[in-house]
Amino acid sequence: SLQPDVAAAMLLSVENEWAEQTAAFVSCAVQADAGVEDCSPALKAFEGSCSTVVGAVVRASDGERDRVKSYMSEVCAGGALTETRQQQCVKLSSAIVSTMTASDVDNRDRFKTSALCHGLWTRFTDEQRERVKVEMAAQAEAEKVAAQKAIEAQK
């Protein structure tokens, strides 16, 4: 089985990709509202890597929920992860654990990976939209202040 520190380093790379994919998707969605682009590549890439990661964790635990919980808490505490990535790791971990049933066999054979990944995608893109909204508001405010100063300077 994968050592938690090795898994944390790999997860850091995957989470960085996820951040890029959600940012690309949200930015694309703004363009798509104008009928410009197809935004599905970012979603498909996320679903693929999310399924791989989640599937590997569930398989490695042999479907045992407690093993996933303790393994993921070690992974998420790993020094390789920045604070933001640790938070994302904890979200991933709790999503996996809460999707698992009490039955090891069910978890091994019938784990709902795609539903879990879809839920994470929705959550991550919603968070990204919120970040973009806050950044745009801050930028608009800065432009307003700059315009105000320019007007004052001309008086």
For 148-153, the CB contacts below 8 A with 24+ separation are none
Q: Is the pLDDT of residue 155 over 90?
A: no
How far is the C-alpha of 15 from the C-alpha of 93, rounded, in Å?
A: 13
Q: Which amino acid is at 108?
A: R
Q: Is the pLDDT of residue 82 over 80?
A: yes
Q: Which of 28, 7, 49, 44 shows the shortest CA–CA distance to 132? A: 28
Give the mean pLDDT of 42-50. 91
What does the mean pLDDT of the chain come to? 88
pLDDT at position 1: 56
The full set of domain ranges for the chain reads: 4-127
Q: Model pTM? A: 0.77
Torsion-angle region of residue 2: left (phi > 0), alpha (psi -120 to 50) or beta? beta
User: How does pLDDT run across 136-151, given as a tens digit for each residue?
Assistant: 899 999 999 999 999 9
Instruction: Tell me which amino acid residue 21 is.
Output: Q
11 — pLDDT class (breaks 50, 70, 90): confident
